[in-house]
Amino acid sequence: MSSHTLDVLAIGNAIVDVIARADEAFLADHGMPKGSMSLIDEARAEQLYGAMGPGIEISGGSAANTAAGAASLGARAGFIGKVREDGLGKTFAHDIRAAGVAYGTPAANEGPATARCLILVTPDGERTMNTYLGAAQNLTTADIDAASVESAAVTYLEGYLWDPPAAKEAFLAAAKISHTAGRQVALTLSDAFCVDRYRAEFLDLMRNGTVDLVFCNEGELKSLYETADVDSALVQLRRDVASAVVTRSERGALFVAKDAVVSAPAHAVAQVVDTTGAGDLFAAGFLTGYTRGLDPATSLRIGALAASEIISHMGARPERNLLDYARETGLLP
């Protein structure tokens, strides 16, 4: 990568996660497809919050988790995302800055409350998410700090934030600034249900060069190309975008480009406690290696290591210093 002052600048929903354990009967009683991410309104958020068992509250949001993970790995990370000037908004801002992430998006003084994601974790570690986007969906081009985008080796866009029209404009503006500065733009597809909503638009971003690097799991990949055949979807993916990372849970991950396919195994974990944030932290690890100029196989292994730490406990922010962990395993100097 050419000279830059940020390795990764993530743009996405600024959300506070509320995480609680639940059984599958609870999901069925409340009409939640297991493993899904559903957008809900404030009334539904209040109703579910009242029905949930005891939980923990911690700053989250997919792209924000990636930024925090990258910072824990020693990368220079920044985040752009909107909160309200309220209690949860202050909590979010404090937490992400405490994680070592540069964050300067002005809080809204009026309008919807700070976003929150109600996460139900079943005994198998699978998470089912119900998200009230609140203030997060009011991100606009005015919130895109051009100097930050120009300074970042990779600007990383969160697919979940493709819902609000103003946020789409903000994404496109950031991508243009990034490319004009000779940088790269990455997109995470976020969720198979998200892909179902915006399949044509995501493919257009890839095919017209707005996005250089895509992150997805196999479910999102199959949704993108409307097929149950992963191999055929990979062939199409390599045609449509310069490069991509495809995570495959316990089977590791792939890096694909027009002229290459590289695989790496998953990193062993004693017990899967909560898969919340696994993809976010995988992206953090890969991008940390990628922006350092490391080869794809090593970058994938750093991603797998970061993901393994996250799924070993509740919550989507690291509980140990990931740079120390990567050094212990010889993946980073």
SS3 146: helix
- Report whether 51 contacts 177 (CB < 8 A): no
Whole-angstrom distance, CA of residue 111 vs CA of residue 308: 38
Q: How far is CA 114 from CA 55, 108, 222, in A?
A: 18, 9, 33
- Report whether 206 contacts 174 (CB < 8 A): no
The whole-number pLDDT of residue 2 equals: 56
Whole-angstrom distance, CA of residue 298 vs CA of residue 332: 9
Domains and CATH numbers, the chain: 6-12+62-86+137-329 (3.40.1190.20)
Whole-angstrom distance, CA of residue 25 vs CA of residue 289: 41
Each of the 333 residues of the chain gets a pLDDT tens digit; together they read 557 899 999 999 999 988 899 999 999 999 999 998 898 998 898 899 889 988 888 888 999 999 999 999 999 999 999 999 998 899 899 999 999 999 999 999 999 989 999 999 999 989 899 989 999 999 999 999 999 999 999 999 999 899 899 999 999 999 999 999 999 999 999 989 899 999 999 999 999 999 999 999 999 999 999 999 999 999 999 999 999 999 998 899 999 999 999 999 999 888 888 888 899 999 999 999 999 999 999 999 999 999 999 999 877 889 999 999 999 999 999
Whole-angstrom distance, CA of residue 154 vs CA of residue 1: 9
The whole-number pLDDT of residue 173 equals: 98
Which tens digit of pLDDT belongs to each residue from 241-256? 999 999 998 899 999 9
Which tens digit of pLDDT belongs to each residue from 140-185? 999 999 999 999 999 999 998 998 999 999 999 999 999 999 999 9
Task: Give pTM, 2 decimals.
Answer: 0.90
